[in-house]
Amino acid sequence: MSTLKEKQNIVVIGGGIIGCTTAYYLTHHPQFDPSVHTVTVIEAEKLANGASGKAGGLVAAWANPSNLARLSFDFHDQLARDHNGAELWGYRRVRCGQLTAVVSQRKGGSKLESSSHPNIGLGKWWARDLKKSSVLPHDLDWFDNESAQAYEEFADTSSTAQVHPFQFTSSMAKLAEQSGARIIMGKVESINCCDADGTSESASPLTSFDDLSQKKVVSVTYVDKIVLEQHTLPATTVVLAAGPWTSTLFPKVQMHPLRAHSVSIKLQRPVSAYCLFSEIRLGDSRQTVGTAKPISLEIYARPNNEVYICSQGDLDIPLPAPGNAVEISSDSCHDMINAAMSVSEELRNGKVTGRRACYLPTLDVGASSDPLVGPTELAGLVLATGHSCWGISNAPATGKAVSELILDGKISCMDVTSLDPRRIR
Q: HSE-up of 318 (CA within 13 Å, CB side)? A: 3
pLDDT at residue 231, rounded to an integer: 98
Q: HSE-up of 86 (CA within 13 Å, CB side)? A: 4
Q: Output 145 or 364, whichever has higher pLDDT.
A: 145
103 confidence band (pLDDT: 50, 70, 90): confident
Q: Output 133 or 28, whichever has higher pLDDT.
A: 28
pLDDT at residue 206, rounded to an integer: 95
Q: Among 3-7, 15-19, 281-285, which is the least confidently predicted range?
A: 281-285
pLDDT at residue 283, rounded to an integer: 63
Does the pLDDT at position 119 exceed 60? no
Does the pLDDT at position 117 exceed 80? no
Share of the chain above pLDDT 90, in %: 81
pLDDT at residue 106, rounded to an integer: 44
pLDDT at residue 5, rounded to an integer: 72
Average pLDDT, the chain: 90
Q: HSE-up of 24 (CA within 13 Å, CB side)? A: 26
Q: What is the 3-state secondary structure (H, E, C) of 217-247?
A: EEEEEEEECCCCCEEEEECCEEEECCHHHHH
pLDDT at residue 366, rounded to an integer: 56
Does the pLDDT at position 35 exceed 90? yes
Residues in the chain: 425
On whether the CB atoms of residues 248 and 242 are closer than 8 A, the answer is yes
Determine how many CB atoms are found less than 10 A away from the CB of residue 65. Answer: 17
Top mean pLDDT of 206-215, 230-239, 249-258, 285-294 is at 230-239
On whether the CB atoms of residues 406 and 357 are closer than 8 A, the answer is no
Top mean pLDDT of 21-30, 104-113, 316-325, 355-364 is at 21-30
pLDDT at residue 128, rounded to an integer: 53
104 confidence band (pLDDT: 50, 70, 90): low
The DSSP bridge partners found for residue 255 are 363
Section 36-53 average pLDDT? 96
Residue 231: Cβ-neighbour burial (10 angstroms; 0-12, 13-18, 19+): middle
Section 43-50 average pLDDT? 96
On whether the CB atoms of residues 311 and 305 are closer than 8 A, the answer is no
Section 401-415 average pLDDT? 97
The beta-carbon contacts of 319-322 under 8 Å, at least 24 apart in sequence, are 319/244, 319/245, 319/255, 319/257, 319/359, 322/44, 322/45, 322/187, 322/188, 322/242, 322/245, 322/248
Does the pLDDT at position 205 exceed 60? yes
- Backbone torsions φ then ψ of 162, nearest 5 degrees: -150, 155
End-to-end CA distance of the chain: 23
pLDDT at residue 423, rounded to an integer: 84
- Give tens-digit pLDDT for 250-272: 999 999 999 999 999 999 999 99
Section 297-322 average pLDDT? 95
CA gap 57, 75 in Å, rounded: 15
Does the pLDDT at position 393 exceed 90? yes
- Give tens-digit pLDDT for 162-200: 999 999 999 999 999 999 999 999 999 999 999 998 777
Does the pLDDT at position 115 exceed 80? no
Of 27, 67, 23, nearest to 411 (Cα)? 67
129 confidence band (pLDDT: 50, 70, 90): low
Residue 242: Cβ-neighbour burial (10 angstroms; 0-12, 13-18, 19+): buried
pLDDT at residue 365, rounded to an integer: 56
Does the pLDDT at position 323 exceed 50? yes
The DSSP bridge partners found for residue 298 are 277, 310
